[in-house]
Amino acid sequence: MSPIASDRNLPVVSPTDLPGDYDATVDPKVGLDGLPGALGADPPLAPTTDFLNELEKESRQLESATPTEILRWAVDRYAPKFTMATAFGPEGMTIIHMLAQIAPETPIFNLDTGYQFEETLQLRERVKERYGIEVEFKLPELSVEAFEKANGGPMYQTDPNRCCFERKLKVLHRAAQGWHAWASAIRRDQSPDRAKAPIVGWDKKFHLVKISPLANWTKKDVWSLITKEDIPYNPLHDRGYPSIGCQPCTRAVMAGEDERAGRWSGFQKTECGLHSS
Ligand code: SF4
């Protein structure tokens, strides 16, 4: 067993110890080489029944902890196999700010679909200037030009689900491979699906431990900290964009509209599939 595992008493087990009903398969179209998420880590971390029970217990104990305390716990427990994916939203910026105080060495990455707003891309530079943290861009296999050429034009106009699969989900599955845990910026009050999120739990979609330090926070809590600490944020939020994704699939919302009404407007789609179970 590696020092990483033994130092932290992680129940490092082989994927062959998985409970019989655990499905570790990832869509073959993702093209993963080896096992997904933490199952493909060195050493592998697998969700045995005992480990899941332990996560549940730890999650309950962390319910009253502050987001910074939760992140500190995550770093103590899982670094250097702890990472974070960010779309540079207000919640993600808040977590980056907290990590900069307690563990600035935490690897952070962004899925650069090639369709992000210039204002979003600039946030990477602002994070670097403010915190000295270099967020890594994870790119799809094909450039936008090659992707559109291969598919007869912009796929977001005809099949946004497949476009998200090709340019976000595939990239994220590959990026999640080899880590034990990652931080998520979701809040429980964002949707009925997210309302069930534990502070710490097993991410069945990407196969690693998911830590949600802001689960108990409200939008107001997030923006209060951003204002108080002068945390960089996307200037599009001041121009009517409460939720920001790729440029072609995001519009400003009108007064009274739902926060996510500007995402994939005109399609029966509200999530890119990263956080839904
Ligand atoms: S949000 Fe739009 S442009 Fe971005 S990956 Fe999904 S469908 Fe494609």
Q: Residue 11: its pLDDT value, please?
A: 65
Of 25-29, 156-160, 258-262, where does mean pLDDT reach its minimum? 258-262
Strand-pair partners of 203: 208
Q: What is the ipTM of this complex?
A: 0.99
Cα 135 to averaged position of ligand 1 atoms, centre (Å): 20
Q: Give the model's confidence band at 276: pLDDT under 50 very low, under 70 low, under 90 confident, else very high.
A: low
- Write phi, then psi, for 137 (nearest 5 degrees): -85, 130
For the chain, the DSSP string reads: --HHHHHTT-----GGGS-TT------GGG--SSS-GGGGSSS-----HHHHHHHHHHHHHGGGS-HHHHHHHHHHHHTTSEEEE----HHHHHHHHHHHHH-TTS-EEEE--S-B-HHHHHHHHHHHHHH---PEEE--SS-HHHHHHHTTS-HHHH-HHHHHIIIIIHHHHHHHTT-SEEE----GGG-TTGGG--SEEEETTTTEEEE-TTTT--HHHHHHHHHHHT----GGGGGT-SS--BGGGB----TTS-TTTTBSTTSS----SSS--
Q: Residue 4: its pLDDT value, please?
A: 39
**CB of 160 closer than 6 A to ligand 1?**
yes
Q: Residue 260: its pLDDT value, please?
A: 72
- How many angstroms separate the CA atoms of 164 and 161, rounded? 5
User: 188 an active-site residue?
Assistant: no
Average pLDDT, integer, range 142-167: 96
Q: Which residue has the higher pLDDT, 3 or 128?
A: 128
**CB of 249 closer than 6 A to ligand 1?**
yes
Taking CA atoms only, the protein residue closest to ligand 1 atom 7 is: 160
**CB of 262 closer than 6 A to ligand 1?**
no
pLDDT tens digits along 26-36:
999 999 988 99
Q: Give the model's confidence band at 1: pLDDT under 50 very low, under 70 low, under 90 confident, else very high.
A: very low
- Smallest CA-to-CA distance from 26 within 163, 169, 160 is with 169
Q: Residue 20: its pLDDT value, please?
A: 76
Kindly list the structural domains of the chain, giving each domain's residue range(s) and its CATH number in brackets, ordered by start: 46-238 (3.40.50.620)
Residue percentage of the chain with pLDDT more than 70: 90
163 is in an annotated binding site: yes
**CB of 167 closer than 6 A to ligand 1?**
yes
169 is in an annotated binding site: no
Q: Residue 23: its pLDDT value, please?
A: 85
Q: Active-site residue among 45, 155, 215, 272?
A: 272
Q: Give all strands of the β-sheet with 181-183 in edge-to-edge order.
A: 136-138, 108-111, 82-85, 181-183, 208-211, 200-203
Average pLDDT, integer, range 75-99: 97
Q: Is the peptide bond before 80 cis (omega within 30 degrees of 0)?
A: yes
What does the mean pLDDT of the chain come to? 90
pLDDT tens digits along 140-149:
999 999 999 9
Cα 100 to averaged position of ligand 1 atoms, centre (Å): 29
Q: Residue 5: its pLDDT value, please?
A: 43
Q: Residue 277: its pLDDT value, please?
A: 47
**CB of 147 closer than 6 A to ligand 1?**
no
Strand-pair partners of 181: 82, 209
Residue holding tokens 């996560």? 55
Q: Give the model's confidence band at 3: pLDDT under 50 very low, under 70 low, under 90 confident, else very high.
A: very low
Cα 144 to averaged position of ligand 1 atoms, centre (Å): 11
pLDDT tens digits along 63-85:
999 999 999 999 999 999 999 99
142 is in an annotated binding site: no
Cα 256 to averaged position of ligand 1 atoms, centre (Å): 25
**Does the pLDDT of residue 12 top 70, yes or no?**
no
pLDDT tens digits along 203-233:
999 999 999 999 999 999 999 999 999 999 9
Taking CA atoms only, the protein residue closest to ligand 1 atom 8 is: 163
